[in-house]
Chain A
């Protein structure tokens, strides 16, 4: 949940990148980390296996700037994508303010996308949230690969509520910040509603 500190004049929000294994969640964070000025970011922490697969989560704090005198700090998390790490995924969704679903655009990953999206809805529900009521963005990643599903077809399968959709190639940084901006805007707009 959003944490507002009047003493330090900070707004802290939690954004979680969700999606199937190897879809590019960590690559999104890595690009944000590499492209951000040192004073706006903290360390990028990766709790990963020896083969660099996310085991628990990746985490980086990012300061976007000031709204009405309050620093806006976004804590960005990824979840492990592999099916068998479901317990970890549930834990990381606790207190989430906004979710980015990173879909893998390759034809052979369509089932994995659907399974992960279903898993997201289920895990949000188990934490008392509803995907339809929280800030949410869909990113169609790996658009540079040859065997991708057409955007319209992919979106029609994965859209849940008319959420913003972004095509991305996270490995080259394409669409990464557009996605982040869209979810951050939704989170701050929710804060305004109270």
Chain B
């Protein structure tokens, strides 16, 4: 494997969801998402309606990857936040290590409020993500990994 797989357990998922739920209320946001920088959606909270969270996550990750490269071209290491302001809906993306906290908000909130309220959430999310990274590494080294029991037949059955 190129890198250690990230393994998210249920109790960690619940902790992340609870931070997202609180952040969504505090920011008066429409929806708050946590996305891996490779584009995998991790968790979300709020009014999803018909929002395609998978595509949205992939594009958010691509967006941050592009702006990070632009930052490097002008001598910055990274842009810690990316903002897109629309007529009605806006997006605020905060970069937290390997993950992105994405807040979608409308005229019921303001950019400054979202910036302030996501700061505390970012620290909490970062701490949970560190725990997930540690546990993922431990699980990788464990010979009793659940996935080591996958058989050739299991894989073949996907394509039958």
Contacts and interface: CB of A to CB of B under 8 A. Distances in A.
A61 B54 contact: yes
- The winner among B1, B4, B146 for most chain A CB atoms within 10 A is B1
B39 A67 contact: no
B9, B40, B59, B149: residue with the most chain A Cβ atoms closer than 10 Å: B40
Q: How large is the interface on B (under 10, 10 to 19, 20 to 34, 35 or more residues)?
A: 35 or more
B62 interface: yes
Interface in A41-67: 42-43, 45, 47, 56-57, 59, 61, 64-67
Contact of B2 (A7, A87, A134, A184): A134
Given A65-B157, A91-B69, A94-B65, A190 B1 contact: yes
Interface string B1-25: 1111111111001100000000000
Interface in B114-142: 140-142
A3 B5 contact: yes
Interface residues of A, number: 47
A7 B141 CA distance: 21
Contacts of B13: 5-8
Nearest to A42: B54
Given A45-B59, A67-B150, A91-B65, A97 B1 contact: yes
Given A7-B14, A65-B158, A95-B3, A194 B55 contact: no
A117 interface: no
B54 A97 contact: no
Nearest to B63: A56
Nearest to B58: A59
Given A75-B39, A75-B58, A2 B150 contact: no
A133 B137 CA distance: 19
Contacts of A188: 150, 155, 158
B45 interface: no
Contacts of A45: 55, 58-59
Contacts, number: 130
B158 A2 contact: no
B150 A68 contact: yes
Interface in B38-55: 38-40, 42, 52, 54-55
Contact of A7 (B8, B58, B65, B154): B8
Contacts of B74: none
Given A68-B150, A72-B158, A59 B37 contact: no
A75 B40 contact: yes
Nearest to B38: A95
26 contacts: A3-B5, A3-B8, A3-B42, A6-B10, A7-B8, A7-B14, A42-B54, A43-B54, A45-B55, A56-B66, A59-B39, A59-B55, A59-B59, A61-B54, A66-B158, A67-B155, A75-B40, A87-B69, A91-B66, A133-B2, A184-B159, A185-B156, A188-B150, A191-B147, A192-B150, A194-B1
Interface of B: 1-10, 13-14, 36-40, 42, 52, 54-55, 58-59, 62, 65-66, 69, 140-142, 145-150, 154-159
Given A45-B59, A57-B62, A92-B62, 19 more contacts: A2-B1, A2-B6, A3-B40, A3-B42, A4-B7, A5-B8, A5-B42, A7-B9, A7-B13, A43-B54, A45-B55, A67-B150, A68-B154, A75-B39, A95-B39, A97-B2, A133-B2, A192-B150, A193-B1
